[in-house]
Amino acid sequence: MVVVTGAAQGIGRELARQFAAAGAVAVVADLDFAKAEAVVKEIHEAGGTGLAVQVDVADESSTEAMVDTIVERWGRVDVLINNASVFASIEKGPFDQIPLSQWEKVLKVNVTGTYLCVRAVAAHMREAGFGRIINVSSDAVTRGTVNYLHYVTSKAAVIGMTNSLARELGGYGITVNCVRPGSVATEVERTVNPTVEVRERAAALQCIPRGMVPTDLVGIMFFLATPASAFITGQTIACDGGYTHSS
């Protein structure tokens, strides 16, 4: 049982599809229920098992209702991938010109949303004595991307949260790790984020000089979700084609 938030499109959609193809029950959790159902239809047509659940990750009651629905249907939550975030619609600009409303929205979804989803599944994972929590950060954190302070701050907070949660939950057989992707090309329309030219320049600086796509994240997600990674926790792993080299 793998729960992927923000799975109606982009990276989350591909992760849900690939986990289902590998034999897992994939929960496609997203605010856009119609799109989530469309992804589940794709999963079913490919012979997999999926469930669409509407969730607002920034709302406490919504995340709790999501987990209640899953547990009622399937009896457990094995893996949580905190993929949902505000990104494509973010307006970039100097830090002192970011509207406070946008600052608060980004942190509420990207940070509080991650926290609330972990809190909602934690009791069930503790009871089972097993759990895999995988948070998603960004290589923008290590690069200190300019004019993007709200997003960078939110994704840096996710790394700190991962470190602390790993210590709090490790004694229950629950691992908490973080994946730090590079710039991933998806079908999601981005009006203010990197253009094709910017992506091409970034790819040229990678050790693997090609554009990153959602399937590039599947291997590391599979590894962190399985017993093979049972002794790995509190880690942030870069998956960016070698754009960055720091830990």
Distance CA 82, CA 178 (A): 9
Distance CA 184, CA 6 (A): 15
Distance CA 210, CA 158 (A): 27
CB atoms within 10 A of CB 23: 10
Distance CA 102, CA 108 (A): 10
Cβ contact 73:40 at 8 Å = no
Catalytic member of 115, 148, 151, 243: 151
Reply yes or no on whether 115 is catalytic. no
Cβ contact 182:240 at 8 Å = yes
Distance CA 38, CA 54 (A): 13
Distance CA 236, CA 221 (A): 12
Calculate the alpha carbon distances from 139 to 64, 116, 153, 173 in Å: 30, 23, 12, 28
Give the active site residues.
151
